[in-house]
A and B are shown apart, each in its own frame.
Chain A
Amino acid sequence: MNAMMLCYALLIGLALPLGLYMGRALDTDRSTVMDRLFGPVESVLMRLAGVDRRASMTWSAYLLAVLKLHLLLIGLAWIVFMSQGLLPLNPDGIPGMNWDTALHTAVSFATNTNQQHYSGQAQLSYLSQTLAIVTLQFLTPATGLAVLLAITRTLLKRQTTNPIVGTNTTIGANATVITNATVSTNTSTTSAGRGVGRDSVGNYSVGNYYVDLTRIVVRVLLPLSLVVALVLVWQGVPATYQGAQSVTMLDGGAVQVIPRGPVAPMVAIKQLGTNGGGWYGPNSTVPLENPTGLANLVETIALLLIPVATLIAVGVISGRRRLMMGIGAVMIAFSLITTTLIVVSERQPNAALAGLAVAGSPNLEGKEVRFGSDLSALWGSWTTQTSNGSVNAMHDSFNPLGGLGLLMDMFVNVTFGGIGVGMIGYLLYLMLAAFIGSLMIGRAPELFGKPLETREMRWISLAILAQPLIILGLTAITVAFPALTGNSNPGFHGLSQVLYEYTSAFANNGSGFEGLGDGTPWWNLACVLALAVGRFLPMLVPLAVAGWLMEKRTAPQGRGTLSLEGGAFVGLTAGVIVIVNLLGFLPALVLGPIAEQLTLP
């Protein structure tokens, strides 16, 4: 437990300065010294890409730009994976992938999921790994954060506030004289001084996707990855373009082929960018990907570093520090709850080993003895909270309640969540809570003083509905035709495996209860659907809602309006998150991990 608490403390200690830095470096409304430092690189990159950096986009243009770029990237990656056998940088002569596995892999990496229905080192060439995979591992977290920046500018950034109504309690002191001649002073200003506004033709701008994307990659992801990669190389992670190495074993002289490659840089962005797709199939359980205790600590902290720092950055950019503190408090609370559940669960012995010599020990089945149960459980918890999905232990072998915690993390998916998208997902719940909260104080529903009406609610509802529809729907179809599942376990655990796979895809997590024969066209295509809907709907609906709200009147905030910062509202939002997820997924959880736990011998 102490190690766990130390990791939380270290995480917050590092995220704080990073968040403050990101808030300044990414805010397009202020010019900083970072502009002079990174500006030249960025303008070269944007000129190469043929992007007009001064163009401002409406919310719909921004949304289309995101979709267009991703379609292009998916197409390119798909082609590269299928034809890698014919392409250079393939010293080990790895052949091209099946069309369906290649499509799944392309979509999986383009949605920041990195769910792998293949084994990295054996099925991807160096070109595929570096060009296709690593490019996406940089661009997808940057996209999540970019969309969050657009929403922050549009919805969260404080506008010039009007004086708060009726805070004075003394009578008369606040009665300003208004006569025919003098216009009252407190009603004049409207929306001057906010970062976004109408452009010359009267459209509301939310920023420029390409500028945001470039800034995030150049100013945040690249420097951080460099630091982490160097540490990992120092700790012994390979970084080479030479092919696999053959080693003669000490015992009996057998020859073993050890795959290598530019592993360290990829592992760095894999951990930092809530990506999760490792160089090696077994991910960070492999000593070459995660060699030492220090490497494990660095990789563990890297899981949550940017998602936590993002909250601080949004607070800096929007000026809504108290709001972000409330949100951070809910996330930390959720994080501690599931982490504790998983850590405690994994300290219990594995029931399958009852009666054996190791019976009294914690559940070390599927875990690296180097890390032990606590650090494996902590990694498992954080990797599912952040939609990272890398592993340093096999989730399939967690005790049932540990598996339950992992699933709950992914259902909620806003306990920090993926970079950018975690906070965006939280906003979706916040909108729902604001709707109910407004009614409870007797006002027509509004968010930050802007009316939430039927159009907004229709889309918010759709984004919320998509999760049970996709996850439960696909799980039900798959288990209804057992031939499709191809799983290694029958019964409760078998159901958990299927449920986990779709949940991981929809949550853009990428980890798995391995043991599924998931390289089939059914699994690939079903997961493609879950991946795409789970990525784009919850990410883009809040952008659209923010765009619609921007065009509406803003009621000044005061005593009579819903405060999103107060404890009651923070609690309401947490309640909405719990209720929506618990009520939607409890039956499936009962039939999966809970039944498994209760029927343990």
Chain B
Amino acid sequence: MAMMQTHEASQGLRVRPLTLLGESLRRLNPRSLARNPVMAVVAIGTLVCALYTGMAFAEDGGQGTFALIVTLVLLATVLFANAAEAMAEARGKAHAGSLRATRGALKARRVTKSGEETVAADQLRRGDRIRVIAGELIPADGEIIQGAGSINESAVTGESAPVLREGGTDNSGVSAGTKLLSDELLIEVSVDPGESLLDRMIALVEGASRQKTPSELALSVLLSTLTLIFLIVVVTLVPMALFVGIETSTVMLVALLVCLIPTTIGGLLPAIGIAGMERAMRANLVAKSGKAVEIAGSIDTLLLDKTGTITLGDRRATEFAPCQGVDLTRLREIAGVCSLQDPTPEGRSIVVLARDQGATLDSPQNAEVVPFSAMSRVSGLDFADGRCWRKGAPNAIARLVQEAGGRVPGGFEALVERISRHGATPLAVLEGNVLLGVIALSDVIKTGIAERFQQLREMGVKTVMITGDNPITAAAIAAEAGVDDYIAEATPERKLELIREEQAAGRLVAMMGDGTNDAPALAQADLGLAMNSGTQAAREAANMVDLDSDPGKLLSAVEIGKQLLITRGALTTFSLANDVAKYFAILPAIFAASVPALGGLDVLHLHSPQSAVLSAVIFNALVIPALIPFALRGVRVHAASASAMLRRNLLIYGLGGLLLPFPAIKLIDLLIGPLF
């Protein structure tokens, strides 16, 4: 999936080096370290080496320098891991913070029984009613209970075109920090201070208070176990070596331990989690928990609303179909001229199609526009000379033909049916009492959406289109868009039923909705994505909210979730595969002094035992900052079947992780070798 735009550092999210250093040092306090067992072991190892350094210098200087350098490299390892977390957190907070800043000192006009009072925004409680007047910023998340108005939501979504929000509809939700451009609204506040969407966003990216997600917890268990295994390996090595007459160096053993435990993934794990949340946020998706982002990656079935997701919202003219014996150019011209005064998107699309096909449409002279009405279901032009042109619903036009004494041509019914069957809406055109033909208005499938569904199918995700259309139209659109399944004449109850069926078959289901009657289905779905413009009930039932209110966002949510999980898996594999090379560097170094024959295992021919150990720990430390951008950006996700993805990722991170450290450690050894 060629997706996941990498975000630019230019968005004011770059962290200053000094701040970063400060943050990294601050995280050295034991309570922060205890959250991450892998790095805690490195920190303890650093302390041990520091003590040993002190002792070595007290005795004589020989081994002290080496011990000191190892200590510093280990310290750097911890700091690099801290820095990774700090960077991820800073980026996330910067994004959320810029949103929060907009409503820093907002004032609210609270409506009470006795009248109105002005209070600070952070005094507002859930259930308070506030009045907002055009030109003011909305001080809190809430729902319009009275009035309608256009709102600029750019502070939240970045999109500056105003949107309409109206009480009593499915578009009644408003967010704090957005600006009311017109009218006056009475809003009921829906959250207490500290619980708004923004507050939740910030909680997800703050390291100290962040809840680990389920698979992150399970992975932590595995990483802690590996750490414990290597601790056992290294500690038991001491008496075993003594038994065969080898004195081991404590510093070298600590170095071996740190190189073996999964520091790469251990150090980057918090950053990966935070960065995943931050990527969701950047896509204007606000997850209520980290779990919601993670579960998005495992979604099996996507329920997608047709309108807005699969098709553009409006129908467009796609074909002029003349009746038998009628000239196509005549039909085109009359249909086009009739539509010149029609401001609706459908009308404009008829003009565009006619002109595209070569018609020259002149504004009609001496003509009076007959507007569309729900009663007549036709519109058109009445000329001063008595001519009358009409376009409208086929059965209404047919009745007009008969009233005017004309005859409905034989092929007309078949024409109308053919167009309906293809999922289009027919619009008949009449000149006087002659039925000229039919315009086909089609739902236009969004460009690229069929490829997107194809990619999802590649990844094994099933797509189900939901539409209120009749089954024939729905089938045609479903076929054209390439969804796997569809529900025609869908009702909210039917959606809920479908979600339950899919879940009973073991699938994880995602859906998007905005209306109050979507709320049960949103709550039932494993990933319920509510539009921010939706009703309070929908936003509360969902576990993710899309600030852009874009129905296509479900697809982004799935991608972000997958990316989060793959990044973790890839770095775990890489980290473990690295160990093989480090063994070959360090083991001979530890034993070579006492048993020269074991130097035969030194396949890299490193300069000296000291430089071998240092090269390995330096590689081990440097690999963390080298991979920070990768952890923050996430692995690139390709649309491919699971087995193709597994093969690819194993090759890159498994085999790559196995081979890369050999030349890297050799290179470091070549650089520092002369010093030892």
Contacts and interface: CB of A to CB of B under 8 A. Distances in A.
A572 to B, nearest CB: 6
A583 B583 contact: yes
Interface in B194-244: 214-215, 217-219, 221-222, 224-225, 228-230, 232-244
B415 interface: no
B501 A183 contact: yes
A471 to B, nearest CB: 9
Interface stretch (B69-77, B109-117, B504-512, B541-549): B504-512
Given A579-B579, A586-B583, A438 B569 contact: yes
Nearest to A492: B244
Interface string A462-482: 101100110011011101101
Given A166-B462, A555-B506, A555-B508, A187 B501 contact: yes
A560 B501 contact: no
Interface stretch (A46-54, A61-69, A452-460): A452-460
A266 B177 CA distance: 84
Contact of B643 (A165, A453, A555, A568): A568
A590 B643 contact: no
A200 interface: no
Contact of A559 (B225, B298, B457, B587): B457
B488 interface: yes
A458 B643 contact: no
B654 interface: yes
Contacts of B326: none
Interface string A549-572: 000011110111111001111011
A579 B649 CA distance: 17
A175 B459 contact: no
B233 A562 contact: no
A9 interface: no
Contacts of A449: 506
B225 A171 contact: no
Contact of B236 (A176, A445, A472, A560): A472
A178 interface: yes
Interface in B427-484: 450, 456-462, 464, 471, 475, 478-480, 482-484
Interface stretch (A334-342, A535-543, A593-601): A593-601
Contact of A575 (B218, B587, B654): B654
Given A437-B646, A440-B570, A559 B459 contact: yes
Contact of A439 (B219, B240, B595): B219
A595 B237 contact: no
- With most chain A CB atoms within 10 A of its CB, the pick from B456, B460, B483 is B460
B243 A482 contact: yes
Contact of B502 (A174, A187, A435, A469): A187
B645 interface: yes
A452 B298 CA distance: 13
Contact of B485 (A176, A453, A465): A176
Interface stretch (B90-98, B147-155, B597-605): B597-605
Interface string A436-454: 1111111111100100111
Contact of B242 (A469, A480, A594): A480
A491 interface: yes
B570 A553 contact: no
A246 interface: no
A587 B475 contact: no
B642 A563 contact: yes
Contacts of A444: 214-215, 294-295, 297-298, 565
A6 interface: no
A486 to B, nearest CB: 13
A568 B655 CA distance: 12
Interface in B557-612: 561-563, 565-566, 568-570, 572-573, 576-577, 579-580, 583, 587, 591, 595, 597-598, 600-601
B285 interface: no
B240 A588 contact: yes
Contacts of B298: 442-444, 446, 555
B487 interface: yes
Nearest to A578: B580
A559 B458 contact: yes
A333 interface: no
Contact of B300 (A555, A563, A582): A555
B506 A556 contact: yes
A436 B223 CA distance: 12
Given A595-B598, A598-B598, A440 B646 contact: yes
A175 B479 contact: yes
Contacts of A183: 501
A560 B460 CA distance: 4
Contacts of A177: 471, 475, 486, 488
A227 B601 CA distance: 49
A98 interface: no
Contacts of B565: 438-439, 442-444
A566 B218 CA distance: 25
Interface in B298-347: 298, 300-301
Given A171-B482, A184-B485, A494-B243, A440 B460 contact: no
A172 interface: yes
A559 B460 contact: yes
Contacts of B460: 165-166, 558-561
A442 B501 contact: no
Contact of B222 (A180, A457, A492, A587): A457
- With most chain A CB atoms within 10 A of its CB, the pick from B236, B484, B504, B647 is B236
B516 to A, nearest CB: 20
Contact of B218 (A454, A479, A590): A454
Given A190-B505, A464-B225, A175 B486 contact: yes
Contacts of A476: 235-236, 238-240
A560 B459 contact: yes
- With most chain A CB atoms within 10 A of its CB, the pick from B225, B245, B504, B566 is B225
Given A442-B298, A556-B505, A566-B646, 20 more contacts: A166-B458, A172-B482, A175-B479, A178-B464, A178-B498, A187-B501, A439-B565, A439-B568, A439-B569, A442-B566, A442-B569, A443-B565, A468-B232, A555-B300, A559-B641, A575-B654, A579-B577, A585-B233, A595-B244, A598-B601
Interface of A: 162, 165-166, 168-169, 171-172, 174-180, 183-184, 187-190, 432, 435-446, 449, 452-454, 456-458, 461-462, 464-465, 468-469, 472-473, 475-477, 479-480, 482, 491-492, 494-495, 553-556, 558-563, 566-569, 571-572, 575, 579, 582-588, 590-591, 594-595, 598-599
8 contacts: A165-B461, A442-B566, A442-B645, A456-B218, A476-B239, A495-B243, A568-B647, A587-B240
Query: Sorted from nearest, which 9 A-B pairs have the closest CB atoms?
Result: A560-B460, A439-B569, A442-B562, A172-B479, A476-B236, A461-B225, A559-B460, A166-B457, A479-B243
Interface of B: 214-215, 217-219, 221-222, 224-225, 228-230, 232-246, 260, 294-295, 297-298, 300-301, 450, 456-462, 464, 471, 475, 478-480, 482-491, 494, 498, 501-508, 561-563, 565-566, 568-570, 572-573, 576-577, 579-580, 583, 587, 591, 595, 597-598, 600-601, 637, 641-643, 645-647, 649-650, 653-654
